[in-house]
Amino acid sequence: MSKNKQLQLMGHIIAGYPTLELSMYAALGIAHAGASYLEVQFPFSDPNADGVVIEEACDTSIAQGFKVAQGFSLLRSLSSRLAHTQAKNTQTRLIVMTYANLIFRYGIEEFIKEAKECGAWGMIVPDLPLESDEKLRILAKKYNLKIISLIAPKTRASRIKKIAKASAEIVYVVSRSGTTGAKTHIDSTLLEWLEFIRRFCKKPLALGFGINSNEQVEVLKDKVEIIVAGSYFVRFISELAKDSKLTPQDYLDKLQGHTKALMGW
């Protein structure tokens, strides 16, 4: 990574949490603060990578009646609003994050086609392996939707090469075993792991799982290109949701400030 290049951010919101409208304004706050990427998670009832913070937010959204069509509606609104408020060279790229069963039930090609039409740049499906992706990557290429692959801890060199080749433009590196949410310690083991991946992957690295402080971000400067923060944002949104007096604009403003605090912008 170039030492003069600014560290980028991939933020994260849950579609429909705490409400569909407020999730949009939270997303806008993260984007307006300068996030290069934004994961819009379509909630799923049985996630296998999410910690308790994100899982509870997903459960709330589903209990309130979240439907896939609402997720696409949110994407379309976000894409339209960002197009009017951001210059072309600073446009936040929207990424749909969800699980395979939700996509299968909707129809893989139909899901990809609609995601692209609604303004998505890419998609992350953490429980769909390379060898049995049900033509996800082939179909995504047809509609020019980027599929971002994950490198899990202790992945062998040969596997890293395969994942790096299959992942579109960037590669998501999982910082540790387990689920999201718990704080990750940025120690020599993790830094050596990143250096190992660099030997076999020349694409920009996005590091996620347990990144929730500016101190961590500062240590990771010059180590990766992109910081992924999920539970950090969802936890803050959950705190805001306790105050029923907050307006949508409050969500936008507070998430913008929270984003800048994390990244030191």
Instruction: Write down the catalytic residue from 21, 46, 50, 110.
Output: 50
Run of H or E residues at 211:
none
Q: Which of 39, 55, 114, 225 is catalytic?
A: 39
What's the N-to-C CA distance of the chain in angstroms?
Answer: 19
Contact in structure between 150 and 174 (CB atoms under 8 Å): yes
- CA 92/CA 16 separation, integer angstroms: 20
Q: Catalytic site residue 222?
A: no
Buried-exposed string 238-261: b where 16+ CB fall within 10 A, e elsewhere: bebbeeeebeeeebbbbbbebbbe
Q: Are strands 146-147 and 171-174 parallel, antiparallel or unpaired?
A: unpaired
Number of CB atoms found within 10 A of residue 82's CB: 20
CA 115 distance to own-chain centroid? 15
Q: Who's near 258: CB < 8 A, 6+ residues apart?
A: 29, 233, 236
> In whole angstroms, what is the distance from residue 133 CA to residue 138 CA?
9
Q: Is 243 a catalytic residue?
A: no
**What is the C-alpha to C-alpha distance for residues 98 and 193, in angstroms, rounded to an integer?**
26
Ranges of H-type helices in the chain: 20-33, 52-63, 68-85, 100-106, 108-117, 136-142, 157-166, 188-198, 214-220, 231-241, 248-263
Q: Which residues carry out catalysis?
A: 39, 50
